[in-house]
Amino acid sequence: MPTVEELGERRIIELFLERFRRTSEMAVPFGDDVAAITLNKETVAVLKTDVLVGTTDIPPTMTLRQAARKAVVMNISDFAAKGVKPRAVLVAVTIPRDYTTKEIEEIGEGLNAGAEEYDTYIIGGDTGEGVDLTICCMVFGVAKREALILRSGARRGDILAVTGLFGKTSAGLKILMEGHVTPPDIRDILVKSVYQPKARLREGLALAKTGVVTSSIDSSDGLAICLHELKKNSGIGLDVTNVPIALEARKFAEIHGLDPEALALYGGEEYELVLTFKPEGWRNAVKAVEEVGGDLIAIGNVVEGTEVTQRKGNVVEPIPLRGWEHFKKHV
């Protein structure tokens, strides 16, 4: 019988979902960035949970404060993708027996820092003894049903865009986990993207107000996987005209003889938003994001078909469904 390592996260989730009965009050289908349930005709409660596991998700050199902050930020990022303001956070932590007061304090500070940065609060939780540190956050918010941006709304002719450049986190993880020696100025930026990820909440909230976003996803599973998710959920094709590669990732790739596009496409743990826009609303969208101090970078188009492709001059190549999946190794 296959083990979880062979099954992979997607199949495990399917096995669960096959066993869960459904309610008609679900306002967002399974598999989107958040869950939601009907409060009344116009309003839905939005809920999200994501768990950070010590041994598998926290690089050895990351501090507990950084890890705890990240556990909050990665949940906020899903709210950013849906354009929903987080109203409250709950936290369940399992703590190894040998942790001391200092380590508990660091975790507490990190959790609060993550919440405070995004103008929200931790209002409850649970602690238990664990073999490993796990930090499970849950975020709650309220949204107008009509305003929720799902993964399923992209239409042919829409513009495909992202809120930032990619590849820094992949490079940073290579430095931390595989020991790639890199000049300090670049190294600091790359490593910081691992230690101090930011959720694009201001951007997501500003974009939700414009009404011109047709679909959205947070990029934590890696850019290529997210493009495939948008494609699948919206039933369209995506054609990428320029892969958004961060300058530092490009330099890192050059130094180590790596493919910069691969760093940008097949990474993970990067918290940008990947979105599609009605073409006539594009300028409004750019303006809205700039007003909150962010960037919106067009990277391609929504096209007919069922493929995710990359255009290089006259050549069109497929972007494979590849990246980080829990339980499986990088494939």
Using rule CB under 8 A, residue 2 touches its own copies: yes
Smaller CB distance to its own copies: residue 15 or 316? 15
Phi first, then psi, for residue 85 (nearest 5°) are -75, 125
Task: Please list the alpha-helical segments (H only) found in 163-246.
Answer: 168-178, 184-195, 201-210, 223-234
Q: Which of the residues 282 through 301 are near its own copies (CB under 8 A)?
A: none
Supply 169's token pair: 């986190």
- The nearest distance, CB 52 to its own copies, in angstroms, is 8
Question: Which residue in 7, 262, 297, 298 binds its own copies (CB under 8 A)?
Answer: 7
Smaller CB distance to its own copies: residue 118 or 252? 118
- The nearest distance, CB 134 to its own copies, in angstroms, is 5
Supply 64's token pair: 């507990």
- The nearest distance, CB 62 to its own copies, in angstroms, is 16
Terminal-residue alpha carbon distance, the chain? 21
Taking the CA atoms of residue 271, residue 146, residue 48 and residue 276 in that order, the dihedral angle to the nearest 10 degrees is: -20
Using rule CB under 8 A, residue 60 touches its own copies: no
How far is it, in rounded angstroms, from Cα 244 to Cα 257? Answer: 19
Residue 178 identity (one-letter amino acid): E
Site string for its own copies, 19-58 (x = CB under 8 A): xxxxx-xx---x---xxxx-x-----x-xxxxxxxxxxx-
- The nearest distance, CB 58 to its own copies, in angstroms, is 12
Q: Which of the residues 91 through 150 are near its own copies (CB under 8 A)?
A: 91-102, 104-105, 107-109, 111-112, 115-116, 121-132, 134, 136, 138, 140, 142
Q: Contacts with its own copies: how many residues (CB under 8 A)?
A: 81
- The nearest distance, CB 255 to its own copies, in angstroms, is 31
Helix (H, G, I), strand (E, B) or coil at 282: helix
Residue 327 identity (one-letter amino acid): F
Helix (H, G, I), strand (E, B) or coil at 169: helix
Are the C-beta atoms of residues 45 and 140 closer than 8 Å to each other? yes
